[in-house]
Structure 1
Amino acid sequence: MLKLFRATAILEGISYLLLFGLTMPLKYWADILEPNKVVGYAHGVLFITYGIIALVFCWQRKWSIKRFIILFIASLLPFGTFYADKKYLSDL
C-alpha cells in the first residue's frame, strides 16, 4: 500500500504541475485545448485516487485526522505531494 500511495502522490504532483504549468497556458494563450483536456482528466482521476488512498492509508496506520488533513491539503498545493512524500511517507 505504501508503494502505491507514494507513486500516486508523485504522479498527482506531476499532473498538477503539467496542468497548471503547461496545458493551461496552452489553452488560454495559444488556444490549444486538447492537452488540457487529457491532462485535466488524468489529474482529476489522480487527485481523487490520492484522496481515497490517503484516507485508507491513514485509517490503516491509525494516524490522526490532522495528518490526513495535512496530506489532503498537500494535494491542493503545487509541490505539496512531493513535500508530503518526503516528510510523511519516505521514512516508513
Structure 2
Amino acid sequence: MLQLFRVIALFEGISYILLLFIATPIKYFLDEPKYVKWLGMPHGLLFIAYIVLAVIVGANLKWDKKIMRVVLLASIIPFGTFYVDRAYLKQ
C-alpha cells in the first residue's frame, strides 16, 4: 500500500504542477482552455486517491495528527507531495 501511495503522490504532484504552471497560464494568456480540461479530471482523480490512500497509510503507519495534517495539507501546496515522499514515505 505504501508503494502505491508513493506512486499516486508522485503523479498527483506532477499533475498539479502541470495544471498550475502550464495549463492555467495557457488558458488565461492564450485563451486556450482545453489543456485545463485535459489535466483537470486526471488531477482530480489523483487528488482523491491521494487523500484516501493518505488516510489508509496513515492509519497503518500510526501517524499522529500532526503528521497526518502535514500529509493532507501537502496535497494542496505545489511541490508538497514531493516533500511528503522524502520526509515521511521513504524508508
TM over 0.5: yes
Correspondence 1:4-83 to 2 at 5 A: 4-83=4-83
Q: What is the TM-score of this pair, normalised by structure 2? A: 0.95
CA distance in 2, matches of 1:63, 1:17: 27
Q: Given residue 82 of structure 1, which amino acid in structure 2 is its aligned partner?
A: F
2:45 partner SS: helix
Q: Tell me how far 1:64 sits from its aligned partner.
A: 1.3
Structure 1: which 5+ runs fail to align?
none
Aligned residue pairs, count? 91
What is the deviation of 1:90?
0.9
Over 6 Å off, 4+ runs = none
Using structure 1 for the length normalisation, give the TM-score.
0.94
- Tell me the residue number matched to 1:2: 2
Q: Identity percentage over the alignment?
A: 44
* Aligned-residue CA RMSD (Å): 0.8
